[in-house]
Structure 1
Amino acid sequence: MPTISEVHEDQAESLVAVYTRAFFDDPVFSWIFPEPERRAEANRRFFTVIVESTFAGGGLAIQIEDFSATSLFYPPSVLPTAQAHADVLTQLENKLDEQAERAVAFMNLLYDNHPRNLPPHLYGTFLSAVPGRQGKGLGTRLKKAQFALADDTDAGVYGEASCLRNLALYERLGQVRLGKTITLEGGPSLYPIWRPQASKRSGKSED
């Protein structure tokens, strides 16, 4: 069974490469960058900002099977601040230039809809497998690794599913819908999801 390992900051380019490919046909990123011929480069620039800012803010990343799938997240102790969010927007505007408008709108929607009254929680931002490795259970293993990390400190797990297929998977793993659907103007929707802390869940196993 392939092991899951932590991704270090000097491996950031490998993370960016995964997300650049994995989100090329994603409905959200097809809305953010509607021109297919420019999307790969735009994705690369977008995820360069996201990966670098996540590491700079104390976030973590894990990978499996030689970067076949990766997960980027913030542990409970370092959730993004308002200043960190503003810095990301500035970097996106600088990196993406005239392609920045929808990327900024997307990030603002995620930030504005992140509930402020949740108990301590891990925030899972981007999780995906490269084309050809999707649907192989790698994302499930990474998601369960997030759950284990959260349970170590009795934290919840929050995130957004970018499509109904992912939502169904996360619900099978024990997460539940939380709050309102996030809808991009004239575009697709995202679905906030939540997994309560271990101390708040029933004794029934979710594995």
Structure 2
Amino acid sequence: MPRLTIRPSGPPEFDAVLPMCVEAFADEAVSAWVEPEPERRHERTRELFTSSLRAAVDAGQLVVAFLPGGEPVAGSVWADLDGAPPVPELPDDDRPVSRRLFAVLSATGSRHPAVPHVYLSAMAALPRHRGHGAGAAILRYGLDRARDRGLPVYLEASTPRNQRFYARHGFQDHGEPVRLPDGGPVLQPMWHGTQ
């Protein structure tokens, strides 16, 4: 793979990074459980990601891997938290997608450490760029930034493969797995002290 540039994405790049993130995250285990219909998943992922991704870009929390020509190929969201995130509000619609998203946010939010930390809430690469080092490069970048600020990093691994990947980079299991309802994925909380 060509040399990647890893950096936070800026607001002017939002229109370029949104489609990449939608494609990269649409087949992730939690996204696939939230919207189980493959033919609707990209549209639903775009719908669910647009506002939260814009907020992440505006806050400098979306770290992206760019090819030399400027094409984004992988992204990750790193949010500073003082403890557990706010409890989400119960959705006012009855769509299964909304209920499942609420279930994810409720189940994972309650497991956050009560100390200041960086939350790696999402990370994925475009399917054609997986296994070529973009994820590892983004992870090293994010861990270095957290280490420079003296903050540990918390995440939930959504598959055993992801859990092994994070473990290779110094993350350790952090408590019991989070079991999503209705046959959803089992998420493993993980912690990196960044010493």
TM range (shorter): 0.7 to 0.9
State the percentage of identical aligned residues.
Answer: 28
- Match 1:124 to one of 113, 120, 127: 120
User: Which segment is superposed worse, 17-26 or 28-37?
Assistant: 17-26
* C-alpha distance in structure 2 between counterparts of 1:138 and 1:21, whole Å: 15
2:111 maps to 113
- Whether contact under 8 Å (1:61, 1:70) holds in the other structure is yes
- Whether 1:166 aligns to 2:166 is no
- The aligned length equals 188
Tell me the secondary structure at the aligned position of residue 118 of structure 2. Answer: strand
- Whether contact under 8 Å (2:80, 2:118) holds in the other structure is yes
Deviation at 1:173, TM superposition (A): 0.7
Deviation at 1:18, TM superposition (A): 2.1
* C-alpha distance in structure 2 between counterparts of 1:81 and 1:2, whole Å: 32
The two structures have a TM-score, normalised by structure 2, of 0.85
* C-alpha distance in structure 1 between counterparts of 2:85 and 2:170, whole Å: 28
* C-alpha distance in structure 2 between counterparts of 1:105 and 1:25, whole Å: 19
Tell me the secondary structure at the aligned position of residue 25 of structure 1. Answer: coil
2:184 maps to 187
- What are the superposed Cα offsets for residues 1-50 of structure 1, whole Å, 9 maximum, x if unpaired? 32212201332333332232122322222211011121110011111132
- Whether 1:137 aligns to 2:133 is yes
User: Which segment is superposed worse, 132-141 or 9-18?
Assistant: 9-18
Unaligned runs of 5+ in 2: none
Deviation at 1:52, TM superposition (A): 2.9
1:204 maps to none
The two structures have a TM-score, normalised by structure 1, of 0.80
Amino acid at match of 2:160: L
Deviation at 1:55, TM superposition (A): 4.6
1:75 maps to 80
Amino acid at match of 1:115: P
Superposition misfits of 4+ residues, deviation over 4 angstroms:
none
Q: RMSD over aligned Cα, in angstroms?
A: 2.4
- Match 1:13 to one of 15, 33, 45: 15
Q: Trace 1:32-71 onto structure 2 (pairs within 5 A).
A: 32-55=34-57, 58=59, 60-64=61-65, 65=67, 66-71=71-76
- Whether contact under 8 Å (1:59, 1:75) holds in the other structure is no
Deviation at 1:167, TM superposition (A): 0.7
* C-alpha distance in structure 2 between counterparts of 1:128 and 1:179, whole Å: 24
Larger proportion of helix: 1
* C-alpha distance in structure 1 between counterparts of 2:95 and 2:16, whole Å: 24
- Whether contact under 8 Å (1:69, 1:138) holds in the other structure is yes
User: Which segment is superposed worse, 4-13 or 25-34?
Assistant: 4-13
1:151 maps to 147
